[in-house]
Amino acid sequence: MENWESEVERNWEEGPSLGSESGRAPEETPAQPEPGSGAKARRDASDGRDLYLNIRVLVGMMSAFVLTFTFVARIIVVSGPSMENTLQGGDLMLVWSLGYTPKQGDIVVLTQESYQEDSIVKRVIAVEGQTVDIDYSSGVVSVDGSPLKEEYIKERMLLPSYGEGINHVTVPEGCIFVMGDNRNHSADSRYPDIGIVDVRCVIGHGIAVMFPFHHWKGL
Amino acid sequence: MNPINKSVSGRFSWLLFALAAAFVSAALRRWQLGSAFERDTGLPIRGAQASVILTCVLVMAAAWFMILAVQQSLGKHPVEPGQARRWDLVFLDAGDPVYPILVVLAAFLALAAAPFLLRTGIGQWLAYRELAAAHAKDASVQLPSSNGALTIATAVGSLLSFLGLLQMGRDGLHAGRRGKGGFSATLPGIAGCIWLMESFRGHAANPVQWDYAPLLLAIVCGMVLYMDFAGMSTSASRPRRLLWVAAMTLVMSGAALVSALAEGSVADVLLLLAQGLTAAAVLWRLPPKLEHPPTMKGTPIPQSGEASIQEDTTDE
């Protein structure tokens, strides 16, 4: 494997069909007689090469880090109490973005610019085609007529300060209905400024709390 | 074809192909901005023709330039006692003003970005301090996502880029000291890291990847370009990859430039132009010199205590 990799590396550098003049790897450069003083120059060159290689590794790691956390996954810092007790303010959450389609019950990170520019974390209550009914008198949320068993909510849901908001709706195609687990301190799809969320606004799906370590759990 | 004509055609084929691909990607990005996003929400329209074609063109350009790079013929790399390779010599040529002019122009573009970044960064910092004071009194006040530190750091990075690029341009005018010529390119490479982080942070909450993916990819290409350029002074040189990365830097910078112009981000425009010019300079100088590397004559053997030596170089 190692040989194969070094061969690929060499081909990349030197090309597949070079003449005898140019196919040498650095180690194969013919040794040339040097006086004792030439050793210092060689050492300097070697130090420079090592420094360069270290910087190159650093730059490579930085590129890989940013590209991975742009296209594949993200780390989001939870801010605010709307997802308590599932998530606490300050938790570091790993979010999967690549090829994700929202499903009922998932915790998602989304940006609804009609509400705020920063992203928010909520739970998917219903996806396209499903009908959501919220009964504040009993504190029950029903989807397609079936009451949800919501063991994750922090406390019994009360009527929000802005009124009932959006409490009976069939989710249109390509959209989701989201709510926070801390129902009484959450601006979510019930709140008209947020409302039904387009799935294209979803950044990804929370898969684990990474930090602090005593909060570590899969989601 | 005689060697000179061959060199000229090699030079122009790389540069022209890369410029043409950059122009096409920029035009497609412009078309995409006008047709592939919903006007009221800015969300992408699924399966929009412009997005599909732009993706295909970028992938095809990457593949095409990779094939060209792999097939690029290399002459014998210059070898000197104590130095495994001297590929950096291809950039050290007093007789060709195009390369230093492009690189020095790039240096001043990078310098011009600094005041814009600094002004934005200081503005963000002041706003953050104000809101942080309000947040201390009332916890419901939301803190902004940026405190301006990364933007200010990017301004400092653009100054580093200026110094590095200026040195690269100077090296292009005067045959440099061995082993040092390319290392100044690590400065814009490192500055690219800060710029990348700043751009990533600025778009972290944006669900539309098309808004920032071209910019991030262009910055990454630029970073790799500068690092590979610096590597030309060491035995870790990768001349073929440098060619490919230079071409892709031009292509991605073309697409990202349109985004930056649409967003009105002057600093991004200037920094993208700077790395685009550097890439063009590399494509101007590198292909013909890879086939016919400069040779050294009268290279003195280093005397005791000398860390570097001057040497005469001649081209072809």
The identity of residue B17, as a single letter, is: F
CA nearest to A43 within chain B: B82
CB A148: neighbour CB atoms within 10 A? 17
CB contact under 8 A, A59 and B235: no
Give the minimum alpha-carbon distance from A149 to chain B in angstroms, rounded to a whole number.
30
On the question of pLDDT at B302 being above 60, the answer is no
Would you say residue B311 lies in a domain?
no
For the whole model, what pTM was predicted?
0.82
Whether B123 is in a domain gets the answer yes
The per-residue pLDDT for A7 is 37
ipTM field: 0.78
- Residue B299, pLDDT above cutoff 90: no
Q: Which two tokens stand for residue A107?
A: 């915790």
Sign (positive or negative) of CA dihedral B126, B213, A179, A191? positive
CA gap A136, A164 in Å, rounded: 8
Q: Give the Cα separation of B17 and B106 in Å (integer).
A: 21
Say yes or no for a CB contact (<8 Å) between B73 and A67: no
Q: Check residue A141 and give its pLDDT.
A: 94
Q: How high is the pLDDT of residue B203?
A: 87
Structure tokens at A43: 């050492």
Nearest CA in chain A to B144: A118
Nearest-CA distance B60 → chain A (Å): 19
Torsion of CA B139, B142, B146, B147, to 10 degrees: -40
- Decide if B306 is inside a domain: no
B304:A37 CB<8 A:
yes
**Option in B84, B303, B304 nearest A26 (CB):** B84
Residue B304 lies in a domain: no
3-state secondary structure of A132: strand
pLDDT at B16: 93
C-beta atoms surrounding B54 within 10 Å:
23
Residues sharing a CB contact under 8 Å with residue B228, sequence separation 6 or more, in sequence order = B237, B238, B241, B242, B245
CA A196 distance to own-chain centroid: 22
pLDDT of residue B26: 97
Closest CA in chain B for residue A27: B84
Residue B86 has pLDDT above 50, yes or no: yes
Closest residue to A52, CB basis, from B178, B193, B236: B236
Report, as residue numbers or ranges, the catalytic residues of A: 82, 122
**Strand ranges of the sheet holding A140-143, from the earlier edge strand across to the other edge:** A146-147, A140-143, A131-135, A168-170
- List Cα–Cα distances, A51 to A44, A47, A165, B189, B242, in angstroms: 11, 6, 61, 14, 19
Which one is predicted more confidently, B13 or A45?
A: B13
State the Cα angle at B32 between B241 and B69, rounded to 5°: 15
E strand segments, chain B = 295-297, 312-314
User: Cβ B224–A58 below 8 Å, yes or no?
Assistant: no
What residues make up the domain containing B157? Answer: 3-296
Q: Return the residue of B nearest to A110 by Cα.
A: B207
Distance between CA atoms of residues B268 and B81, nearest Å: 43
Round to whole Å and give the CA distance between B254 and B251. 5
| Mean pLDDT value across residues A38-43 | 62
pLDDT, residue B97, reads: 87
Name the token pair of A198: 């387009």
Q: How confident is the model at residue B311 (pLDDT cuts 50, 70, 90)?
A: very low
Q: Do A41 and B308 touch (CB under 8 A)?
A: yes
Which residues does chain B have within 8 Å of residue A16's beta carbon, measured at their own beta carbons? 70
Confidence of residue A14 (pLDDT cuts 50, 70, 90): very low
**Residue of A208, A211, A204, A210 whose CA lies nearest to A96:** A204
Segment A67-88, tens digit of pLDDT: 998 889 998 888 888 998 899 9
On whether residue B308 sits in a domain, the answer given is no
pLDDT for A118: 84
Mean pLDDT check: name the lowest of B29-33, B108-112, B142-146, B254-258: B142-146
Closest residue in B to A201 (Cα) is: B207
CA distance A173 to A130: 10
pLDDT for A34 beyond 50: no
Contact B142 A203 (CB under 8 A): no
The pLDDT-based confidence of B314 (bands split at 50, 70, 90) is very low
pLDDT at position A6: 39
Minimal Cα–Cα distance from A1 to chain B, Å? Answer: 21
The pLDDT, as a whole number, for residue A49 is: 78
Model confidence at B161, pLDDT cuts 50, 70, 90, reads: very high
Q: Strands, DSSP E only, in chain A? A: 73-77, 92-96, 107-110, 120-127, 131-135, 140-143, 146-147, 168-170, 175-179, 197-198, 202-211, 217-218
A-to-B residue pairs, Cβ atoms closer than 8 angstroms = 161
* Contact at CB, A13 and B73, closer than 8 angstroms: no
Please give the tally of structural domains in chain B.
1
Q: What would the pLDDT profile of B224-254 be if each residue is shown by its tens digit? A: 999 999 888 777 788 899 999 999 999 999 9
Q: Among A28-37, B67-76, B115-124, B281-290, which range has the highest average pLDDT?
A: B115-124
Are A55 and B190 inside 8 Å of each other by CB? Answer: yes
Half-sphere exposure of B77 (CA within 13 A, CB side): 29
Best mutation target among A71, A175, A200 (most B Cβ atoms within 10 Å) is A200
Mean pLDDT of all residues belonging to chain B: 84
- Residue A151: pLDDT over 80: yes
pLDDT higher than 70, residue B180: no
Instruction: Answer whether residue A116 shows pLDDT above 90.
Output: no
Task: State whether B197 and A110 contact (CB < 8 Å).
Answer: no
Task: Name which of B190, B216, B301 is nearest A66 (Cβ-Cβ).
Answer: B216
Task: Measure CB to CB from residue A118 to each of B145, B190, B216 and give the nearest one.
Answer: B145
Cα separation of A91 and A208, whole Å?
10
Is residue B72 included in any domain, yes or no?
A: yes
Q: Is B297 helix (H, G, I), strand (E, B) or coil?
A: strand
Q: Tell me if B313 is assigned to some domain.
A: no
Say if residue B266 is exposed, middle or buried (CB neighbours under 10 Å; 0-12, 13-18, 19+).
middle
**How far apart, in whole angstroms, are the C-alpha atoms of residue B46 and residue B51?**
9
Residue that has been written with the tokens 């005898």 in this structure? A20
Instruction: Give yes or no for a contact between A143 and A126, defined as CB atoms under 8 angstroms apart.
Output: yes
Task: Measure A213 CA to nearest chain B CA, in Å.
Answer: 24
Q: Provide the pLDDT for residue B136.
A: 87
Residue B224, by phi and psi: left (phi above 0), alpha (psi -120 to 50) or beta? Answer: alpha
What is the C-alpha radius of gyration for chain B, rounded to an integer number of angstroms? 22
Chain B residues lying within 8 Å of A69, measured CB to CB: 200
